[in-house]
Structure 1
């Protein structure tokens, strides 16, 4: 079923690429790493609003999606309060889109079928460059930060004590677009003398929760995962915290970016931003799921995702159709 979905998504993506580019019809002075259909004349690394107002979108129904980690059905319920609030502020109907993968989420926004999304940190540059995604906010922790860390976890009884002990092991990575689950460990572990894919076997799990439960059940020897995902799974009682050990932890990275399609009417974009910043987070279902968060905080893609873009560049990531295709094939 998933392969069929991804095949259909691939066809949709190729069709979208074949369509005339809006940006090509404009006087585009700067594009940077953005896809050919977008312009970045203001230099913020994000796709500019189309110059022709006829290309601004103001849909009667807004489609919302959250990064595909764990069970999408669970998160539809978790975000219910926010979607109701969003609908009241915008005067629009709001519907949930259950993305099966990072690539499917990006393609949905690129094709105009997705308007608002929470995109995983590592997938955010792909969404920005390939789909015109415009990050607005991230969840703010109670200590005022928006970060999470890469944690290398192993079964509690494992003889692995450090990154150096990964040689010859079977290690679960999440997906090629995942920052903490793939690109960051490729750079950070190599700095410690261990090259993923060469010194140990990489097995892609598809999602952080799959990697985590795989370590808990000893299907994998180890896994680099996002700290916030494991915290939520422990809080929900999915496994005892002492079932795994953390043998390595990175410096913080920004968390999931919540944002909009670049071509939404600017007044609608303002209302959506207001919906995030005015939402009564602490008295919502979101607070029960994301226990260490207190609300949404504005982000700046150019500065906040600088380290992630650097890591992706060092690992040979390209924000192209070919680059996205590689995500589907893993």
Structure 2
């Protein structure tokens, strides 16, 4: 078992609560690809179909929304407040913000039927799709439809580390095992491109979140950390960390950013209202606009996406790393 596979297996164990409350039970055999056995994928779009039996649909009076736990949940309760009010008006339902503390907890909540609408971070999306029935349909973008973020490997400005090869013997902080930029891609990159094996050539720690990794490097708790630079840029703008405290020794090509969507078994009429609410949300003057204007590129709208197209690069990295989307 590779170290990456072991880490993902550990993440799967953390998601052991998946078996608590099944969302659907596939009574008949059907095409599903890598999806959990409870789901069907008859149209080949790689995400779970809406159940065909009415009794398998859910139509909750209160919708639960969660944003990916990459930063302080308390900050993002305020940031998302106006969007949640907008979503409530568009659907005619109460909407509750759920401040999740980990990717594992967020995926478990959706699989157990306690989470209906969510933004999952890039690396967690495949597990959410395959194990929890997540159906992503939107992503943030700029006015010119630019989107995405880069994985950067950061060090303290005073560090002697200048190149990726200099990480040998150092302490590298990853964020979480399911994070694309915080673990899966950089551990694969270090192994395949720079010949550095986790646990053999460098020591590791898991900070839990990208913002913890950024502050940890700034405070010299870690020698280096791979992070999503969109998180770092927002922290700079909020003066959480001085911009000149850090240096980057590696920058990747862009990746898709947080995917927004619903659990597959929400009533289709309710799903349609939720989608519409994302795409007609008036960003100008909101806390969401103010916060994500700090991103690079600065974003100001949601654009439609598909998991099959936009997450191909992430699935390819997972395949090359020996990751399988096994649900426990």
Q: TM-score, normalised by structure 2?
A: 0.91
Contact 1:196 1:202 in 2 (8 A): no
Report what 1:55 is aligned to. 56
1:254-308 deviations in Å (ceiling 9; x for gaps): 0000100000111111110110000011221101111111111111110100111
Instruction: Please tell me whether the aligned partners of residues 21 and 36 of structure 1 are also in contact (alpha carbons under 8 angstroms).
Output: no
5+ long unaligned stretches in structure 1: 1-5, 323-330
Match of 2:102 in 1: 101
Across the aligned residues of Structure 1 and Structure 2, the Cα RMSD in angstroms comes to 1.7
**Residues 304 and 179 of structure 1, relative CA distance in 2, 3 Å threshold:** same
**CA distance in 2: counterparts of 1:116 and 1:140, whole angstroms:** 19
Distance 2:23 2:118 in 1: 25
Q: Distance in 2 between matches of 1:21 and 1:293?
A: 36
Residue 136 of structure 1 and its aligned partner are, at CA, apart by 1.0
What secondary structure does 2:119 align onto? strand
Correspondence for 1:3: none
Mapped to 2, the partners of 1:319 and 1:100 lie a distance apart of 22
CA distance in 1 between partners of 2:144 and 2:163 (Å): 29
| Selected match of 1:219 from 218, 221, 239 | 221
Alignment correspondent of 2:86? 85
* 1:180-195 equivalences in 2 (<5 Å): 180-195=181-196
Contact 2:23/2:113 (CA < 8 Å) preserved in 1? no
Corresponding residue number in structure 2 for 1:260 = 262
Q: Which residue of 2 aligns with 1:276?
A: 278
> Quick one: distance in 1 between partners of 2:262 and 2:116?
6
TM-score scaled by structure 1? Answer: 0.91
Deviates more, 1:282-291 or 1:225-234: 282-291
Counterpart CA distance in 2 for 1:88 and 1:306 is: 34
Aligned residue pair count: 312
Match in the other structure for 1:240: 242
**Counterparts of 1:175 and 1:11, CA distance in 2:** 17
Which residue pairs with 1:325 in the alignment?
none
Using CA pairs under 8 Å that are at least 6 residues apart, name the structure with larger relative contact order, 1 or 2.
2
Gaps of 5+ in 2: 1-10
